[in-house]
Amino acid sequence: MGMATAASADPLSDAKAAYEAGRYDEAAKLMQQAAELGDPKAQYAVAVMYEHGRGVTQDPAKARDWYAKAAAQGDARAQNNLGYLYYTGQGGKQDYPDALAWYTKAAQNPDADKRRQGLAWSNLGEMYSHGRGTAQDYKKAAECFLKAAQAGNAAAQNNLGYLFEHGLGVARDARQAMRWYHRAAEQGYHFAQMNLGVMYEVGRGTEPSHEMAHDWFHKAALQGNAFAQYKLGRICERGQVVAKDLVEAYKWYLLSSQGGDRPAGQSLRRLETVLSPAQIDEAKQRAAVFTPAHP
């Protein structure tokens, strides 16, 4: 009769504990051991470490290799992330058809959790919407975005709203657009907040409301959305909803311009003809201390 021996430590559990404690070097070694033994969860974790340089030297090529190993074993997270690396060209060649294939596997993976599956459907919708790796097909994009939106994915909710607003792949329906923009905006998604502001501003799918437009533009602007910052600058310049404040308008135009919005640059030049140097300095100081918020 053989002698009983103490059970060996579980490298995967130990690695998770080390990772959560911020001991990335230790976590990387332990996770690598489990990954080399074929554990798909460990292979996924090692890939994440190489992708972001946590505990190891950042190496997108190795990240792609480890994602591929885990993805081949059916790990939905790895399938989605591998699709992303193919989509962006990180760690190797950019390959839209391969990205499409892995996003599809992730989206249809029955073992994926709701959030991850929603992300995969959203990514797949982007591929069909832009015609990358496949023919452009707004109808398929809408179908993918709907599945992602129902899973709570804010980006997909916003994109589905855009398709309804413009009648792409679905019948034009401003009220449905408002519905989906609202759901994404309430999650703090600044693109949806900006789109919602426009809908209230022009009265599309709802009664016009300068107050609601201001509120949503303000939420998006605080997150650094350049177009919303431009819109907020116009509101401050015109004195709609809020008291007219050209210094505050200049601040928002400046931030918007720095974010790449061209009309904001024209608005800056217009205000520079009426503001004093001291007022412009004040506006620039306000812009300098601005820090984008996070939802």
pLDDT value, residue 1? 32
Burial 11-35 (b: 16+ CB within 10 A, else e): bbebbbebbeeeebebbbbbbbbbb
Mean pLDDT for the stretch of residues 215-239: 98
Q: Please tell me whether the overall predicted TM-score, pTM, comes out greater than 0.75 for this model.
A: yes
Each domain of the chain, given as residue ranges in start order, spans 21-112
Residue 12 has pLDDT above 90, yes or no: no
Can you identify the CATH homologous superfamily of domain 21-112? Tetratricopeptide repeat domain (1.25.40.10)
What is the C-alpha to C-alpha distance for residues 11 and 35, in angstroms, rounded to an integer?
A: 10
Residue 3, token pair as written in the block: 């002698």
Burial 267-284 (b: 16+ CB within 10 A, else e): bbeebeeebeeeebebbe
User: What pLDDT, in 10s, does the model give residues 111-132?
Assistant: 999 999 999 999 999 999 999 9
Residue 2 has pLDDT above 50, yes or no: no
Residue 169's closest CA among 193, 212, 137, 192?
137
Residue 142 has pLDDT above 80, yes or no: yes
User: What pLDDT, in 10s, does the model give residues 247-279?
Assistant: 999 999 999 999 999 999 999 999 999 999 999
Residue 79 has pLDDT above 60, yes or no: yes
Residue 109 has pLDDT above 70, yes or no: yes
